[in-house]
Amino acid sequence: MTTIDVTSGLVSGARILPSPNCDARPSGCQPELIVVHSISLPPGDFGGPWIDRFFTNRLDPEAHPYFREISALQVSAHLLIRRDGEVVQYVPLTMRAWHAGESCHDGRSCCNDFSVGIELEGLDDLPYEGVQYERLAQLVQLLRTSFASLRDAPVVGHSDIAPERKTDPGPAFDWARLQDLLNAVV
């Protein structure tokens, strides 16, 4: 990951796997917020094909009992950082990914309209890998230097914008560690 093409919204070095679960941002809306999420499918399992399949509407509801609950959902994120540091891009940064759901930040609802969603492969209560923090810090810096609207963008958890519904990235996420990495890059 070294650059972002601001025209296409693609991150160089990311594995691109287009998700249909996105659309155009509303007229005049630019990304101004970075939202950190966590995901593992099935919960607690890492490294399999299930997140890719979930975000591309190809999750087999019969492959695991939990999948029956979620297979009909149409969700996505802009980016995923796997436990081994691989970055996967599902939605161009110029588009609206369907990651936040019902949400609010600083009095503005519909955070999908004005945010970038970054998933970390993990669980709320399991420490994230060092390489995930490194990649996340790199992505945040790239976003802030590539898009004027993100220059001073806050980085928040899904739990911060949807506290009644969501807990991710959870208590295991080390916000101070991320901030230290961001400060070191500046």
Which residues are catalytically annotated?
119
- What's the chain's length in residues? 186
Instruction: Give the span between the Cα atoms of 5 and 146, in whole angstroms.
Output: 8
Distance CA 155, CA 160 (A): 10
Give the three-class secondary structure for 21. Answer: coil
d(CA 151, CA 115): 13
| Distance linking the first and last C-alpha atoms of the chain | 17
Helix (H) or strand (E) holding 145, with range, is helix 130-146
Long-range contacts of the stretch 101-105 (C-beta < 8 A, 24+): 101/75, 101/162, 101/165, 101/166, 102/162, 102/165, 103/158, 103/161, 103/162, 104/161, 104/162, 105/33, 105/154, 105/156, 105/160, 105/161
